[in-house]
Structures are given as structure tokens and as C-alpha cells.
Amino acid sequence: MAVHRIGIIGLGKIAQDQHLPVIKSNPDFELLAVSSTRGLSHEDAKYTFQDYRELLKLPDVDAVSICTPPQVRHQIAREALLAGKSVLLEKPPAATLSELEDLRVLAAKTGKVVFTTWHAQYNKAVDEAKKALAGWSIKRLLVTWKEDVRHWHPGQQWIWEAGGFGVFDPGINALSIVTRIMPEPVFIKTSSLEFPANRDAPIAANLTFSMSHGQGDLQAVFDWRQTGPQTWDIEVETEAGMQLKLTHGGSCLEINGRVVVQEEPAEYQGIYRRFDALLTIGHSEVDDAPFRLVADAFMIGKREQVDAFED
């Protein structure tokens, strides 16, 4: 199998924590180039650029991973596809649904691959939860995603700007699990969003969902003001009485109180295995289901102003 020669655009936290080491450990990929607006370089990359447009001019680069904030992803991805590169999109895949649709269409036109990555889906516990729930009617869903923004996003101003998604930056990970495991689609029924007086993105959100069938009690609570223990849990109860609980961001699964899966997350290894498969067969994978829920939550959300937030 051919090795995919790849470039990384944006050397921030996720590029350094996950993309760089995972690419290095995957023999199907060779890191050829990086681009960093701050001028960072990386020892594994043959070429380093400050402007991603220079990276896109390299004829040997087959694909790029775009690890920037979402507000600039569409423009970069568009130029990459037009330059003949396949594209891996960090989550959230764009700033708006229309931008993502544009990329899907452009990838088809250019014959290149576009891949929306939802890292939280790449957990065995999530796969097992999906299997366990298949075919059952759902009585209750409770998503509790509460973390300390000061700890996890220090100095990241873009998440507080419009298009940065605020608490939905982590919350969309939970929603990507929900859309993966639920046996039928869920819709946003109500949404209430708390915006700090000095910010353009929400610090907390409460959602309720509906389904086409049934009258389940389906809720999600996202909060960025959690200090002490952090919570990334999803509980589901079926009409037949099965109790399922995903914890630790989707890496552990309990069914009826018994631990079924408990694994160290290896999400990005799974992402790059999938990207290799997609590049090899030349197919795009565009999953906009989690993104649509967030768009709907903003569209019908009631907004409440809360205390100003300082880092």
C-alpha cells in the first residue's frame, strides 16, 4: 500500500498532543510538511512554512490535516481541495453547515477525500454502546458534560469568539457520541444558552431532545464552570429497563452496573486508520449529524446573559 504523504496545518494543542505522535507511529503516513502561523517547526517534517498556501504548493503532499480553530477551516480546506489535496478536518469541521456542505461538494468535484473527524466516536465503548442499544426504544438520555474551561482551554481566545462554539467545543464531542449510539435520530426540542456578559460564545447550555417515536426524557447539560471532579458522562435507559452508562468521555461503558469496556483512549489512532482506509479507496466521509444538533441549539436557543468570565 502507498504511504500517504501528509501535511499538518496549525501546530496548536491537538496537533502536538495527538496528530504529530499518531502520524509518527502509523507506517501508512509520512509527515512531509507543517505550517504554523507562529513559525513553529517539527523535527519529523521535511518542510516548514508559516503560510499554509506554500505548503499546499508542494506537489508531493497528498493530504492535509487542518488543526486550526474552526473559523478558518473552510477557507483552508477549500484551497487544499483545489490544490489537489485530500483533507482531514478536526472537529467541528467548519464554522457553519453551509461551509461543510461546500466542502463535501468540492471534494466530489475535485475527486479528493474530505473526512470529518469526531474523535470521541473512536472508542470501543462507544461501538459497544451502539450495538447494545440497537433496536431498543429509549426511555431516558442524560448527557452531563461539565469541565473547567480554565484548565482545558487556557488562553484559547478563539473558543470565546463567534464561531468558536464556546461550551459546544467539548459539548459537540458528547453529541457525536449521542448521534452514533442512539438507535434513532434525536432532534433539539429546547435549548437554553448562557452567555457571559463579555463573551460571544456560551459558557453553559441545557438541551432537551425529541425523537420521532416515543416520549423519552432526553436531556444534555453542558457547563464550563465545573471545578473539582470533571464529568463527561452519558446515561441511557431503554423502555425494557437496560441501564447503560458511558463515562470518561466515552472510553468506559457500564451496562446494568457491570463494567463492559474500560480502555485507555486511542481515538486518534482510530482516526488515522480510518483516514488511511478512505484515502486508499478514494471515498469521502462527511458526517454532519453532531454539527446539525449544535447549529439547531444555536438557532432555537434562548439566550441568557450571565456574569462576565475572565480567564
Q: Cβ of residue 45: shortest distance to ligand NAP, in angstroms?
A: 12
Q: Are 85 and 5 in contact (CB under 8 A)?
A: no
Q: Cβ of residue 139: shortest distance to ligand NAP, in angstroms?
A: 31
**Which residues of the chain form contacts with ligand NAP (CB under 6 A)?**
10-15, 36-38, 40, 67-70, 72, 90-91, 119, 156, 169
Q: Which is closer to ligand NAP, CB of 13 or CB of 303?
A: 13
Q: Cβ of residue 4: shortest distance to ligand NAP, in angstroms?
A: 20
**Of the listed 13, 24, 57, 91, which one is catalytic?**
91
Q: Which is closer to ligand NAP, CB of 156 or CB of 208?
A: 156
Q: Which is closer to ligand NAP, CB of 141 or CB of 159?
A: 159
Separation between Cα atoms, residue 253 and residue 262, nearest integer Å: 7
Q: Which is closer to ligand NAP, CB of 18 or CB of 238?
A: 18
Residue nearest to ligand NAP (CB): 12
Query: Cell numbers of 10, please?
Result: 496549525
3-class DSSP assignment, residue 272: helix
Query: Cell numbers of 113, please?
Result: 477525500
Backbone angles phi, psi at 302, to 5 degrees: -85, 135
**Does the annotation mark 91 as catalytic?**
yes
Q: Cβ of residue 9: shortest distance to ligand NAP, in angstroms?
A: 7
DSSP E strands: which ranges in the chain? 4-9, 29-35, 47-49, 63-66, 86-89, 114-116, 138-146, 186-196, 204-211, 217-223, 231-238, 243-247, 252-255, 258-262, 302-306
Catalytic residues: 91
